[in-house]
Every structure is written in structure tokens, then in C-alpha cells.
Amino acid sequence: MGTVVPLRPIVTSHDISLLKDVKLQRDIDELDRRIANKLSAHLPHLSSKDRRQVIESAIQKFMGFGFKQKKYLLQFCVWSLFFGHDLEVLDPTGKLNDICRDQLDEHRRFEAFENRIREIQGTRNLNSRYTA
């Protein structure tokens, strides 16, 4: 009987990581286009490069908190553009930061975050004005 040659995976974990990075960049491109199309007039102080940097940073940060759905990431990007990159520390009580680190599922944490943003901003409805 001949020598047995171990099979190498056709797609390696490195390949999968590269594919995920390409997908993430495409998603960032899409979110950047949507935000630029709908909100550029509200953000005249931001260059496209600065806007893109805020968007990339917000996506990385909130994905790190476990948020994966595009609709949630999009809203975090919008809030970050209007209220600043350190959005989760905006709350003087620390509730936003706690919500980000909570063990609840993504949907419930997003709802809690959104409700707390509304409380901080008073009765102003952030979604109706700034959703991209």
C-alpha cells in the first residue's frame, strides 16, 4: 500500500478570515453610502473621510459588543455621527455602557439602548429624524 498523504483543507481558517474582512468592508461601504445619501446635509462639518472613519469605528466597536444585525449597526453609526464616537459613555448614569455589556440578546439590548438614548434626549424621536 502507498503512502497516505493527509488532506489539506481547501479553504483554510485564514481564507475564511479574509472573506469575512471583505464582506465587512462591503457592508461598511453600503452603510456609508446610505448614510451619505440621507444625512450629508445634516453633517456638513464632516468630510467623507471623517464620516467613513466614524462609521468604521462604530461598526467595529458595536460588533465587539455583540451587535451583528446591519439595521442595528446602521443606527449606532448614525448616533455616533451625531453624538460622538463615545456614544456608550454619553450617559452620565453609565446605563448605555451597561447595556452594551449586558448578557441579554442583541434585540433586547438594542431596544434598551434606543430607549435610554430617547430618555437622555428628552422626548425627541431620534429615529424619525436621523434614520438612514
- Per residue in 14-67, pLDDT (tens digit) is 878 788 888 888 988 888 888 889 888 888 888 889 999 999 999 999 999 999
Neighbours of 76 (CB within 10 A): 24
Q: What's this model's pTM, rounded to 2 decimal places?
A: 0.77
CA distance 132 to 127: 9
What are the C-alpha distances in Å from 80 to residues 8, 18, 89, 93? 44, 27, 11, 18
Domain ranges of the chain: 13-130
CA dihedral 64, 65, 66, 68 (to 10 degrees): -70
CB-based burial of residue 98 (10 Å sphere; 0-12 exposed, 13-18 middle, 19+ buried)? middle
Whether pLDDT at 110 is above 70: yes
Total count of residues recorded for the chain: 132
Whether pLDDT at 96 is above 50: yes
